[in-house]
């Protein structure tokens, strides 16, 4: 069964059982500057789960693009990718454990409607319980009812509770036990396993987790379980690559049809299988991330992207990507996903260009950086690692890899400290600048401030949702606005932005604000500046219903005060960031 058939079968199975099919959301979470990427199918659904309803109904199913940067060190093993697709089904206050478990088992093992996997290769884990919550005996009963023998069900600790409890937990929200399905990858089959044998088989990747059902049944406040939820929810997630691996009888995800063509190309330009896996994984992830509107930079999402591209390039034999290689790799990704994500096809050229540009930039500094590294005698200090990053663009994990090859170690904690103190300094500097801009609160500056919000909203409408504010500066003469976008704006686009802003100005829109918690602000759809640390309570400024932003203010009271808006200049500011200057008159 190929990848497209597996996606379709999953969707069909749940559609037939009353679930509405949702399209994949973007990898860049909408209006949520607190998270870098969508990491699970449930993420775009959280606001609906919290409010207890979804416009499409209370049974939902989707195939969601995900990126998990936390798994970056595992890349190259059999089962982890940075980009992967998650197949999931949800119940919002509708069915609960019994149906969820019955359907998971049916879909995995049934030969007609399901994938027809070998039931004797399945192992199940459930939550063993703790001081707050009893063990999940209910799930055990439902698994037995579905057909799983009791000796294939194992009680485990915190890894079977969602969200995984942390030290000094402050989580508030729905939570509950999870049950995970594992599949035996070995040739002859492991058969019955004791608890210890099962745990060991998992560690050795002889069995692989293919699906996880979460049962939201309790409520936590400030890290403590305070009772049961009035309505229970189900959230499940199964990795497409992992399912393909077991269905196509491959021993790792790189041999499945979503990665194998890319691997064949990667192996031509890399010295080892592990390097080829890193190239294939990182270029695939980079392609999807760029297609969703991110460009390489030194902060946040852009920096994750930069690391992925640079690390892939570092693993090539020549430590650079030719335009032929880049084109071939990106086109392979596009062809592999032609049916499911057709937008990639339209963006092949743009993606290729971004990756090639980043590879070239990296090449320029790599030689110098490597020389610098050679000069360091002994283990690499935090400051050395930070200098390699800030002056030569060496991602930390690359420095670690090079050091390892030479039998040296890197003080990664020291590196993190350097990085944080650097960010602290630049944040204070930019906060100071911002205050300077608004310090006087001159009437003209207030107008420019309000106009900046309108401009931000207009750019999103005209250029797309990938637009994010990267900087802003105001004086009584003009506004300046930096935003993430990698191409020059056309004259037509500038005109469109101008006339939108002017239309809103002439619409006499009221400007108002509300104070609320950061989480509520995000839930309300307010845009924030990514990476800013906000206090407990924030102000959310609304302009009519065209703009909603987290912002300290102050602003004018009505847009009619602004006069007429005109763009004076649009230019490149830094890689992937454009700068606009505009005036009101
Ligand atoms: P693991 O312990 O194997 O890292 P997980 O517990 O982090 O998995 P979940 O958060 O439960 O995984 O995600 C649900 C499903 O998504 C998993 O059962 C698995 O099939 C898949 N999955 C999770 N992480 C990855 C990854 N990095 N690459 C591919 N598939 C993944
Ligand atoms: Mg994981």
In SS3 terms, 393-427 reads as CCCHHHHHHHHHHCCCCECHHHHHHHHHHHHHHHH
Is 242's C-beta closer than 6 angstroms to any atom of ligand 1? Answer: yes
pLDDT reported for residue 431? 38
In SS3 terms, 267-324 reads as HHCCCCHHHHHHHHHHHHHHHHHHHCCCCCCCCHHHHHHHHHHHHHHHCCCCCCCCHH
Q: Which ligand is nearest to the CA of 64?
A: 1
Fill in the DSSP letter of residue 508. Answer: T
How far does the centroid of ligand 2 lie from the alpha carbon of residue 240, in Å? 14
Residue 295 and residue 539: Cα distance in Å, rounded?
29
Q: Hey, which of 209, 213, 235 would you mutate to test ligand 1's pocket, going by the most ligand atoms within 8 Å of its Cβ?
A: 209
Of the candidates 521, 539, 527, the one whose C-alpha atom is nearest the C-alpha of residue 468 is 527
At residue 219, the 3 state secondary structure works out as: strand
How far does the centroid of ligand 2 lie from the alpha carbon of residue 70, in Å? 8
Tell me whether strands 20-22 and 59-67 are parallel, antiparallel or unpaired.
parallel
Is 369's C-beta closer than 6 angstroms to any atom of ligand 1? Answer: no
Q: Which ligand is nearest to the CA of 205?
A: 1
Name the burial class of residue 535, with classes exposed (0-12), middle (13-18) and buried (19+) by CB atoms within 10 angstroms of its CB: exposed
Residue 286 and residue 306: Cα distance in Å, rounded?
9
Is 68's C-beta closer than 6 angstroms to any atom of ligand 1? Answer: yes
Please, which residues have CB within 8 angstroms of residue 557's CB and are 6 or more apart in sequence?
510, 511
Task: State whether the Cα torsion 47-48-51-52 is positive or negative.
Answer: negative
Q: Hey, which of 237, 252, 253, 281 would you mutate to test ligand 1's pocket, going by the most ligand atoms within 8 Å of its Cβ?
A: 237
Of the candidates 546, 358, 578, the one whose C-alpha atom is nearest the C-alpha of residue 468 is 578
Beta partners for 120? none
| Cα separation values, 144 from 123, 418, 574, Å | 12, 54, 59
Tokens describing residue 563: 């006069």
Is 235's C-beta closer than 6 angstroms to any atom of ligand 1? Answer: no
Is 98's C-beta closer than 6 angstroms to any atom of ligand 1? Answer: no
At residue 208, the 3 state secondary structure works out as: strand
- Atom index in ligand 1 nearest the CA of residue 71 equals 27
Is 241's C-beta closer than 6 angstroms to any atom of ligand 1? Answer: yes
User: Nearest C-alpha to atom 24 of ligand 1 is from which residue?
Assistant: 80
Tokens describing residue 199: 């745990």
Residue 179 backbone phi and psi in degrees, to 5: -130, 130
User: Nearest C-alpha to atom 31 of ligand 1 is from which residue?
Assistant: 239
Is 153's C-beta closer than 6 angstroms to any atom of ligand 1? Answer: no
238's enclosing H/E stretch is: strand 224-239
User: Nearest C-alpha to atom 27 of ligand 1 is from which residue?
Assistant: 80
Is 236's C-beta closer than 6 angstroms to any atom of ligand 1? Answer: no
502's enclosing H/E stretch is: helix 491-506
Ordered per-residue pLDDT tens for the chain, 585 residues: 999 999 999 999 999 999 999 999 999 988 666 679 999 999 999 888 988 899 999 999 999 999 999 898 899 999 999 999 999 999 999 999 999 999 999 999 999 999 999 999 999 999 999 988 999 999 999 999 999 999 999 999 999 999 998 888 888 889 999 999 999 999 999 999 999 999 999 999 999 999 999 999 999 998 899 999 989 999 999 999 999 999 999 989 999 999 999 999 999 999 999 999 999 999 999 999 999 999 998 888 998 999 999 999 999 999 999 999 999 999 999 999 999 999 999 999 999 999 999 999 999 888 888 888 888 888 899 999 998 888 888 888 889 888 888 888 999 999 988 888 876 665 443 333 333 333 335 678 889 999 999 999 999 999 998 898 888 888 888 999 999 999 999 999 999 999 999 999 999 999 998 888 888 888 888 887 645 556 667 888 999 999 999 887 778 888 998 989 999 999 998 888 899 999 998
Is 209's C-beta closer than 6 angstroms to any atom of ligand 1? Answer: yes
Radius of gyration of the chain (CA): 26
Q: Which ligand is nearest to the CA of 71?
A: 1
Give me the DSSP letters along 517-554. Answer: EHHHHHHTT-B--TTPPP-SEEEEEEETTTEEEE----
Is 211's C-beta closer than 6 angstroms to any atom of ligand 1? Answer: yes
Residue 391 and residue 398: Cα distance in Å, rounded?
14
This prediction's pTM = 0.73
Is 41's C-beta closer than 6 angstroms to any atom of ligand 1? Answer: no
User: Nearest C-alpha to atom 13 of ligand 1 is from which residue?
Assistant: 237
Rounded (5°) CA angle 184-159-94: 90
pLDDT reported for residue 517? 83
Residue 19 backbone phi and psi in degrees, to 5: -95, 140
Is 77's C-beta closer than 6 angstroms to any atom of ligand 1? Answer: no
pLDDT reported for residue 367? 84
Rounded (5°) CA angle 398-400-406: 110
Residue 497 and residue 321: Cα distance in Å, rounded?
37
Alpha-carbon torsion angle 117, 123, 124, 129, nearest 10: -170
Residue 178 backbone phi and psi in degrees, to 5: -125, 160
Fold of 443-584: 3.30.980
Q: Hey, which of 212, 252, 259 would you mutate to test ligand 1's pocket, going by the most ligand atoms within 8 Å of its Cβ?
A: 212
Fill in the DSSP letter of residue 26. Answer: P
Domain spans in the chain, listed from the N-terminal domain onward: 3-245, 259-366, 376-428, 443-584
Q: Hey, which of 62, 80, 82 would you mutate to test ligand 1's pocket, going by the most ligand atoms within 8 Å of its Cβ?
A: 80
- Atom index in ligand 1 nearest the CA of residue 208 equals 3
Residue 179 and residue 199: Cα distance in Å, rounded?
15
User: Nearest C-alpha to atom 2 of ligand 1 is from which residue?
Assistant: 209
* CATH number of this structure's domain 3-245: 3.30.930.10
pLDDT reported for residue 101? 98
């Amino acid at each position: 069964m190929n990848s497209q058939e597996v996606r379709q079968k999953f969707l069909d199975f749940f559609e037939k059982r009353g679930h509405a099919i949702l399209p994949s959301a973007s990898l860049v979470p909408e209006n949520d500057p607190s998270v870098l990427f969508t990491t699970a199918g449930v993420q775009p659904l959280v606001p609906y789960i919290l409010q207890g309803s979804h416009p499409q109904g209370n049974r939902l199913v989707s195939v969601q693009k995900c990126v998990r940067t936390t798994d970056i060190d595992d890349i190259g093993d059999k089962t982890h990718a940075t980009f992967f697709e998650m197949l999931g089904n949800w119940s919002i206050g509708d069915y609960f454990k019994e149906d969820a478990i019955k359907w998971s088992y049916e879909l995995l093992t049934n030969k007609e409607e399901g994938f027809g996997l070998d039931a004797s290769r399945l192992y199940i884990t459930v939550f063993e319980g703790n001081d707050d919550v009893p063990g999940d005996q209910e799930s055990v009963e439902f698994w037995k009812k579905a057909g799983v023998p009791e000796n294939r069900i194992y009680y485990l600790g915190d890894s079977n509770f969602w969200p995984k409890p942390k030290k000094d937990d402050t989580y508030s929200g729905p939570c509950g036990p999870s049950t995970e399905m594992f599949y035996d990858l070995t040739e002859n089959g492991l058969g019955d396993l004791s608890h210890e044998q099962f745990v060991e088989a998992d560690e050795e990747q002889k069995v692989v987790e293919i699906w996880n059902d979460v049962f939201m049944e309790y409520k936590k406040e400030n890290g403590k379980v305070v009772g049961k939820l009035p309505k229970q929810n189900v959230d499940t997630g199964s990795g497409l690559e992992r399912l393909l691996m077991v269905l196509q009888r491959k021993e790792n995800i790189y041999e499945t049809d979503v990665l194998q063509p890319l691997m064949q190309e990667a192996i031509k330009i890399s010295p080892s299988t592990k390097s080829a896996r890193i190239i294939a994984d990182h270029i695939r992830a980079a392609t999807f991330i760029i297609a969703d509107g991110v460009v390489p930079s030194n902060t946040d999402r852009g920096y994750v992207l930069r690391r992925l591209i640079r690390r892939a390039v570092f693993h090539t034999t020549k430590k650079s990507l030719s335009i032929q290689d880049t084109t071939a790799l990106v086109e392979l990704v596009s062809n592999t996903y032609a049916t499911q994500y057709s937008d990639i096809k339209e963006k092949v050229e743009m993606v290729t260009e971004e990756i090639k540009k980043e590879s070239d930039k990296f090449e320029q500094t790599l030689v110098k950086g490597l020389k610098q590294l050679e000069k360091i005698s002994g283990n690499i200090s935090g400051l050395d690692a930070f200098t390699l990053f800030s002056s030569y663009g060496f991602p930390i994990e690359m420095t670690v890899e090079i050091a390892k090859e030479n039998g040296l170690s890197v003080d990664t904690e020291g590196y993190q400290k350097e990085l944080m103190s650097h960010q602290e300094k630049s944040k204070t500097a930019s906060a100071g600048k911002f205050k300077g801009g608004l310090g006087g609160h001159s009437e003209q500056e207030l107008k420019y401030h309000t106009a900046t919000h309108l401009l931000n909203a207009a750019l999103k409408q005209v250029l797309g949702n990938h637009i994010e504010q990267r900087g802003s500066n105001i004086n009584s003469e003009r506004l300046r606005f930096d935003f993430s976008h990698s191409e020059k704006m056309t004259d037509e686009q500038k005109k469109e932005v101008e006339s939108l802003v002017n239309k809103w100005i002439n619409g006499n829109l009221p400007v108002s604000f509300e104070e609320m918690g950061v989480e509520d602000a995000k839930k309300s759809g307010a845009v924030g500046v990514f990476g800013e640390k906000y206090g407990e309570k924030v102000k959310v400024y609304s302009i009519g219903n065209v703009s909603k932003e987290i912002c300290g203010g102050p602003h004018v009271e009505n847009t009619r005060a602004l006069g007429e808006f005109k763009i004076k200049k649009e230019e490149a500011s830094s890689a992937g960031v454009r700068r606009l200057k505009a005036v009101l008159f």
